[in-house]
Chain A
Amino acid sequence: MNYLALVYYQEQQIDAMTEQEWHDLNQQCIRCVEGLSESGHFLAGQALQPTRQATTIRVRDGETLVTDGPFAETKEQLAGFYLLEARDLNEAIQLASKIPPAQLGSVEIRPIRQLPPKDEGESL
């Protein structure tokens, strides 16, 4: 099973960190990725720039509408993601609980959905 672990925290809380605290958090995340890679559970993952760098687009009637900021104002903001390989939800919970920002904010675990097979004879 593949799961996406979405990492959320309050950017305000991060902004208020000292250089050293921010450095330490990043080092913890690097070690976490290393550990998950070594055990074969890490498929992909990235940290994200803060939501003030986000751009949201919507396509309506063929027209692309572009707005500044995230799709919705939330208390905690998406800060990164891990694509994990796990036996089942219990293992995914164990793995996700090692993600350092889980101690600051929240980590949402979502099972990956397989798209159905492509219709025959059609080109996308």
Chain B
Amino acid sequence: MQHFTSSLLKIGNRVNTESLDLLYQQYSRQVLSTLIRLLGEFELAEEAMQDAFYAAMQQWPVDGWPEHPVAWLITTGRRKGIDQIRRRQTARRYADEQLHLQDEAEPELDPTAIQDDQLRLIFTCCHPALSADARLALTLRELCGLTTEQVAAALLQKPTTLAQRIVRAKQKIKAAAIPYEIPHANELPARLQSVLQVIYLIYNEGYSSTSGTQLLNIQLADEAIRLGRQLALLLPEPEVHALLALMLLQHARQHARQNANGDLVTLEQQDRTLWLRPMLDEGLQWLALALTKPPAGVYTLQAAIAAVHSNATSYDETDWQQIQGLYQLLYQQWPSPVVALNRAVATAMHQGPEAGLQELDALSSHKAIQNYHLFHAAKADLYRRSGQFQPARIAYQRALALVQQEPERRFLQQRLATLPN
């Protein structure tokens, strides 16, 4: 995006930069996703897309805006791309592609085809044959239109590392022939899981980076929600609606999660008047839509848990029994120790800290959970609630040895410091 904006500035006031900039923000991904299909290559499509917007910037102020700007941009981009292939003509390996493109009739540009191209791009960027890191980087770069530098900054990585990762992912797409297509019905559920995972990972990267000093990186969370909205329009599946609901319900708490000093505020301590009500309401609406098509999947159950919290006036007055039941259902579909940990916390709130501690003890055999700081933090909290301060102290210290995020560390230290002797 920056690339284009800076070119615009050079031209100065000859064009209405604002409207073109808006057009770029709104349609550049659509144009790109169709150009990848038409030109069959990521890099070439990206260049062609930039060229098309550049051409628009020069022609539209003189000739006026075309009737169908997106179609104009795609057609122009395709022509630019084909020109580019012709310029590469000397290189033998492109000869076949050139023939193929010249033979092809004018491309299909009806709205359905363009919508399908956006889905093709989503499924290709989130293809399970790409590494999880590559999926994340590629999605942010190609689907969100962030620059490599922006992606690197958001993921706390070096731009060179990230650029290399994106290049390698594109090389694999080409060399292994990962097709630019929407998965067939029989593959769709599994492939959709991968897409939802990537979007939720982006959201969580934004919600709380795994290390570093900043707790909230709003931009990534916003990008994830934008992707969630787009997917909900393109592929109206219950789990897609549920993921959007889950992200909105959590994001609505953004101002309450952190105090003025940047310290973590737990759900229990949060000022619930700071929760963004319209965002919660929107989340609840998407959840209601997801719930119309049972059985509830993992995102629907997680969104339902977030919804119970959002409907409670306080931590203590939360319907913990329902939350415990929802975590139980979630555990049946997704038997992860982290889900069991959350269920134990709900049990403790519903049946008392001793019952919760019993569930946590049953989890201790999992090796991975022993290295998870929140396991020890939850244990410490339950010991503290039941008045067992010495075991609480030991558990806080264990959690502190494992925690990576600065605001969480400060929170745990403060809890440890205020523990009665």
Chain A interface residues (CB < 8 Å from chain B): 1, 87-90, 93, 109, 111, 113, 117
Contact = CB atoms under 8 A, between A and B. Distances in A.
Contact of A88 (B92, B179, B187): B179
Contacts, number: 24
Given A88-B177, A88-B181, 15 more contacts: A1-B177, A87-B177, A87-B179, A88-B178, A89-B129, A89-B177, A89-B178, A89-B179, A90-B178, A90-B179, A90-B183, A90-B187, A109-B176, A111-B176, A113-B175
Interface string B177-199: 11101010001000000000000
A88 B92 CA distance: 22
B181 A89 contact: no
Interface residues of B, number: 10
B177 to A, nearest CB: 4
Nearest to B175: A111
B97 to A, nearest CB: 15
Contacts of A111: 175-177
Contacts of B175: 111, 113
Interface string B148-175: 0000000000000000000000000001
Contacts of B129: 89, 93
Contacts of B92: 117
Nearest to A90: B179
Contacts of A87: 177, 179
Contacts of A113: 175
Contacts of A1: 177
A58 B330 CA distance: 54
A90 B194 CA distance: 15
24 contacts: A1-B177, A87-B177, A87-B179, A88-B177, A88-B178, A88-B179, A88-B181, A89-B129, A89-B176, A89-B177, A89-B178, A89-B179, A90-B178, A90-B179, A90-B181, A90-B183, A90-B187, A93-B129, A109-B176, A111-B175, A111-B176, A111-B177, A113-B175, A117-B92
B161 to A, nearest CB: 25
Contacts of A90: 178-179, 181, 183, 187
